[in-house]
Amino acid sequence: MGECLICHTRSPKISGSLGVCLDCIRNRPSEALTITSRVHGDTRRRFGLPPCPPRDPDGLECKICANSCSLGVGRTGFCGLVKNIDGRLVRFGGTPDKGILEWYYDPLPTNCVASWFCPGCTGRGHPEFAYTSGPEYGYLNLAVFYGSCSFDCLYCQNWHYRSLSAKRSPSVSAEELALKSMERKVSCICYFGGDPSTQMPHSLETSRIAYESSKKSGRIIRLCWETNGNFSREMAMAAGEYALKSGGNIKFDIKAWDENLNIALCGVSNRATLDNFRSLGSLYRKRPEPPVLSASTLLVPGYIDAEEVERIAEFISSIDRSVPYTLLAFYGCYVMGDLPTTSWSLALECKEAALKHLDNVTIGNLHLLS
């Protein structure tokens, strides 16, 4: 049973660790964000990460992700992988020479968010983008888990990525990683994390090497990103082009519609996420089958409701009603581990709201629904 420190409402759907309710985030954002910013700062300091994206007036600007940190001498970026040392930006990861990540082979078909429409799990796009007309049994996904992020989601289910950015290891070069996709029956690479947005030069170089090799050898290698979408626009479009020509997919995890709610839950704005999704819509129109762009939203009880989902769905439909949208069941984790799992009633209400604007909506993680 959590209590809002502003209106003093008590409810199982208020995270006591966050300390504010949805109504106060929407209607009293100044007070709410003052409280949530302290929570973000306290948790990030445990991993040696700055509490918010630095904005030093005379600092050097990092342009890898959309946070555009401005770093004075001695300051570290929000992701923990870049630092201003003696007036020069030094990158400890995310370059073509060094990605801070873990990787593994994941047999197809996988439980990927896109599994209900991706070529590797369904055969859609065969024979150009899939080896078989059904699931690619016997083939593998090269899963790349990046150890840094441009968001700070307080309910992060992969929160242990912070230990990788803190240690700045393990590390793998783009060339070494691309070779992993050539050693076995790999038909797709999926970059996730953490989030690939803070290490895009590494994922793009890996993709270039893997894609060029696949063309020479006549192999299929789909290139996919699962991301919060907080890229620089240039890198978002570069990733989209690789996904487009390889049969891959850019999967945006749109956390919230309301900017204040996104800041409260995830530490930063969602403006770049929405702008990049809109920009990548031009590629979706070039290849809606199999879809090159999709979205998902985690249904966080008490915070992500049908109103949020309908606004997101309406936004997605401005590109095309056929864009796939996945609603994901939530379980309490990390700072917000005191919340219940998503209920069937919330999931169905949100799906009904989304279907007002979109034709392809599904609910994922059904086993978590209560």
153 labeled binding residue: yes
Whole-number Å distance between alpha carbons of 52 and 37: 8
Produce one character per residue of 186-214: b if its CB has 16 or more CB atoms within 10 Å, e if not.
Answer: bbbbbbbbbbbbbbbbbbbbbbbbbbeeb
Decide: 273 and 225 in contact? Cβ < 8 Å.
Answer: no
Token pair belonging to 18 = 């966050």
Q: Compute the half-sphere exposure of residue 207: CA atoms within 13 Å on the CB side of its CA.
A: 28
Residue 283's alpha-carbon distances to 70, 240, 292, 328, 369, in angstroms, are 31, 7, 7, 25, 34
Decide: 187 and 142 in contact? Cβ < 8 Å.
Answer: no
266 labeled binding residue: no
Phi/psi at 253 (5° precision)? -90, 95
149 labeled binding residue: yes
| Bind-site residues | 149, 153, 156
Binding-site residues for [4Fe-4S] cluster sit at: 149, 153, 156
